[in-house]
Amino acid sequence: MIGEFNDPLLEAEFKSDKKRIPNTGDERGDDTVSELSRLMNTVCMEAASEHEIVAHLESLGYNQHRIKKEFGYDDIFGLAQEMFAKTPKKVREKLKTLDNERPLWTRQLVLLMAIVVTMFAFVDGSWSMVLWIISWSFMGNFLIARSPSERPPSEHLDVVSAALYMGLIGIAIIFAVFPIGYTELSLGMFWWGVASWTWHQRFENHYLDSAYGLIPIGALLFASVFRAPPAITFLILCVTAVFMVYDLPKLPMPKVWKWISKNLWAMLPVTLYGLGQGLLLMALLQQSSLQWNALGIGIIVIMLMSAERLVLWLRNMLKELLWADDVRSRRIFVTQTLYIAFKYLFPFLLVFAGIFALTLNGWSVAQLVPLINFGLFGLSLAFALGLSSLNETDPVYKSFFAMGLLSLTAIPLLYVLLILNLILCIRFLLHTRRVENYGIYLL
């Protein structure tokens, strides 16, 4: 494996005799191997084989001499096999149930329909609610992604419930502070119900699970088709939202709230990232008519859904390159990483080729600027997903928030989005060519 990753905090925690890792109730004992297994709990739980544990141990600096001295094993594979065997199978299965096992296409289908319905049902709504929904969705995603490694499996539903309560609190604050009506409240409750489906999979059958996710969409369509008054629409969506969370804890445990309070500072960059995205989206949707916006949102959705699939390909290709035997020099390695990065970006560049192809039909470039802006925003999301999958999140958060604020100024949105993509492109290419420094995150 090329490169090395060191985690001094993990090493210091393990070296300290006074800081023993408590037995959490599983069948692992209190020996040193079990303690190391608990310290690397997520790694051991998610590892498909002992080879992934070997890679993590090597990246943490566990060499032959150290393993022999601290654990008594002759080689690193013996230690990894023991750690893999000691990881409780029943705990591994419990953790697996917390992961979102629904296929990518079901989540994309439901979210796509929710976005389309939102665009046409809430044309004249206030942006305060939209900005909160986007920011809150990032906050909830952050907590739910973090909970498996920091909270026991039994508290997962409490974390989901707490994240939904945070959404309600935000909706109530916006209602109290800003002059909004039933339209904005309906928008909030609609996405509150969609979020409950996104964060908690209730059915193993994927078709049944997808149908359950379509309930809020169906309720909103029903109210729109029959032209229900805003107050009635709000009432329908409230009933629907309550139905969507019927199986979640009514009051999350106090220790879950305490855990969330400790993560508020860590959650701030993610929240600002969501706010930056919301500000840019607000600027995009205010630049042209509903028809152009519908086409632009379609471009963004296609690019984002493609990025979610392509980022899996990107990670696999970089991981295979790290373990390749035919990489004989640093120059060849860097060339191949940049080639992989370009192949990841190529499908998104085709979108711009399609937009500029419209000039052949008599469209001027000036007329196509709104679509170009939507395409640039979609490209920035592709860069963000690529960088986030490679554990390079800080520049993404800062860049989106800064450009979101910049979109509020008199600077043309086209320039703002070009600057954003230039920053992210440079970071993406530089980070990809140094993939050996963080190869542990690709496993």
State the angle between helix axes of 104-121 and 206-213 in degrees (0 to 180), rounded to the nearest 10: 20
Task: Report which of residues 19 and 222 the model is more confident about.
Answer: 222
Average pLDDT over residues 285-298: 79
Average pLDDT over residues 305-319: 82
Q: Note the pLDDT of residue 436.
A: 57
Q: Note the pLDDT of residue 22.
A: 43
State the angle between helix axes of 104-121 and 215-225 in degrees (0 to 180), rounded to the nearest 10: 20
Residue 271's alpha-carbon distances to 51, 140, 234, 385, in angstroms, are 36, 10, 26, 16
Residue 301's alpha-carbon distances to 111, 113, 294, 308, 404, in angstroms, are 9, 11, 10, 11, 19
Amino acid of residue 306: S
Q: Which helix (H) or strand (E) holds 428?
A: helix 413-433
Q: Is 60 exceeded by the pLDDT of residue 302?
A: yes
In order, the DSSP letters of 171-218 are HHHHHHHS---HHHHHHHHHHHHHHHHHH----SSHHHHHHHHTHHHH
Which of the residue ranges 95-109, 336-350, 363-377 would you say has the lowest mean pLDDT?
Answer: 95-109
Is there a contact between 195 and 160 (Cβ–Cβ < 8 Å)? no
For 55, residues 6+ apart whose C-beta sits below 8 A from its C-beta are 1, 439, 440, 443
Residue 212's alpha-carbon distances to 120, 215, 225, 233, 368, in angstroms, are 22, 6, 20, 19, 39
pLDDT digits (tens, 9 = 90+) for 233-273: 899 999 998 888 888 888 888 899 999 998 889 889 999 99
**Helix, strand, or coil here: 100?**
coil
pLDDT digits (tens, 9 = 90+) for 168-184: 999 999 988 888 888 88
Mean pLDDT value across the chain: 78
Q: Is 70 exceeded by the pLDDT of residue 102?
A: no
Cα 55 from chain centre:
25
- pTM of the predicted structure, to 2 decimals: 0.72
Q: Note the pLDDT of residue 377.
A: 92
Residue 415's alpha-carbon distances to 86, 292, 371, 380, in angstroms, are 55, 19, 14, 13
Residue 165's alpha-carbon distances to 158, 176, 197, 255, in angstroms, are 10, 17, 14, 15
Task: Report which of residues 418 and 106 the model is more confident about.
Answer: 418
**How many CA atoms are closer than 13 Å to the CA of 144, on its beta-carbon side?**
24
In order, the DSSP letters of 252-271 are --HHHHHHHHHTHHHHHHHH
Q: Note the pLDDT of residue 15.
A: 44
For 266, residues 6+ apart whose C-beta sits below 8 A from its C-beta are 142
b/e code 208-236 from CB counts within 10 Å (16+ = b): ebbebbbbbbebbeebeeeebeeeebbbb
Residue 156's alpha-carbon distances to 22, 92, 125, 194, 414, in angstroms, are 20, 15, 34, 18, 42
Sign of CA dihedral 222, 224, 226, 227: positive
Q: Note the pLDDT of residue 276.
A: 92
The C-alpha atoms of residue 374 and residue 308 are separated, in whole angstroms, by 18
Is there a contact between 77 and 50 (Cβ–Cβ < 8 Å)? yes
Q: Note the pLDDT of residue 166.
A: 93
